[in-house]
Amino acid sequence: MAKIIRYLFPYVAHHCGKRALTTRFMRGFISITSGYTLEPFDAASPYFDEVIRIYREAFGGEENAIRAFIARYANTLPDWRGYVALTGAHVAGMGFGTRSLPGQWWHDRVAVEIGADHPALQDAWVLVDLAVRSAYRNRGIGAALLETLLASQPCPRALLSTEVANAGARRLYERNGWRYLHPGLVFTPGQQPFVVMGCAINSGE
């Protein structure tokens, strides 16, 4: 109950751009009427196995490799934040990220393309993955996970990449104030290009 109250009555409105407190209030209201709640998770969480399943349903990958990949973020990288969306006992979606720092593969690859001094790369948190199970999509869970992750992390700006072809995800991010930093970066030769997006969080940028 305390969590629900906290979600309904947040004391600060965090978001890309200048999202009003009322939007967050409405989102809290919708989350209750649609029957989901959000909970933090890490690699020791009882939700971790389901997080791995959701990741694999959305993006594929071998189970042990994905487990090691997410656990490395959760256990070793700074400013880890992970949330699951729960509908009753079901895990319907998840999202996580960490601080984006020089020396990390993703950060350095983006820095080569847009410049290491680009303001978007300074003091930034990267949303590594966000996924909602297909049966639970289109009811605001993705947006709620995104908003809660951004509100919980400590940086004034955030970053992400998603496939150029992923129109649904791009709409979600655009609608929530994210802007394009790169129109189509090929991280791994032979794979799909990814847009790189950034957003400022309550900084007026």
Ligand X SMILES: CC(C)(COP(=O)(O)OP(=O)(O)OC[C@H]1O[C@@H](n2cnc3c(N)ncnc32)[C@H](O)[C@@H]1OP(=O)(O)O)[C@@H](O)C(=O)NCCC(=O)NCCS
For position 131 contacting ligand X by CB under 6 A, the verdict is yes
Strand bridging mode 37-40 / 90-100 = unpaired
Rounded to a whole number of angstroms, the minimum distance from the CB of residue 202 to ligand X is 21
16 SS3 class? strand
For ligand X, the binding residue among 74, 120, 121, 143 (CB under 6 A) is 143
Burial of 163 (0-12, 13-18, 19+ CB in 10 A): middle
41 SS3 class? coil
Rounded to a whole number of angstroms, the minimum distance from the CB of residue 180 to ligand X is 15
DSSP notation for 46-109: TTHHHHHHHHHHHH---HHHHHHHHHHHHHHSTT-EEEEEEETTEEEEEEEEEEE-TTSHHHHH
Rounded to a whole number of angstroms, the minimum distance from the CB of residue 117 to ligand X is 26
d(CA 168, CA 47): 26
CB closer to ligand X, 141 vs 199: 141
CB closer to ligand X, 30 vs 111: 30
Residue facing ligand X at closest CB distance: 142
Rounded to a whole number of angstroms, the minimum distance from the CB of residue 186 to ligand X is 16
Mask 10-39, x = binds ligand X (CB under 6 A)? ------------------------------
User: Of the listed pieces 19-27, 72-80, 125-133, 150-158, which binds ligand X according to CB under 6 A?
Assistant: 125-133
CB closer to ligand X, 42 vs 163: 163
User: Of the listed pieces 3-11, 14-22, 109-117, 137-145, which binds ligand X according to CB under 6 A?
Assistant: 137-145
User: Of the listed pieces 64-72, 128-136, 179-187, 192-200, which binds ligand X according to CB under 6 A?
Assistant: 128-136
For position 142 contacting ligand X by CB under 6 A, the verdict is yes
Among 119, 183, 172, residue whose Cα is nearest residue 150: 172
d(CA 50, CA 118): 36
The strands making up 179-185's β-sheet, listed across from edge to edge, are: 37-40, 81-87, 90-100, 124-132, 157-163, 194-200, 179-185
For position 137 contacting ligand X by CB under 6 A, the verdict is yes
Write the CA distances from 156 to 92, 98, 162, 167, integer angstroms.
28, 13, 21, 26
How many residues lie near ligand X (CB under 6 A)?
Answer: 18
Which residues contribute to the site for ligand X (CB under 6 A)? 58, 129-132, 137-143, 162, 166, 168-169, 171-172
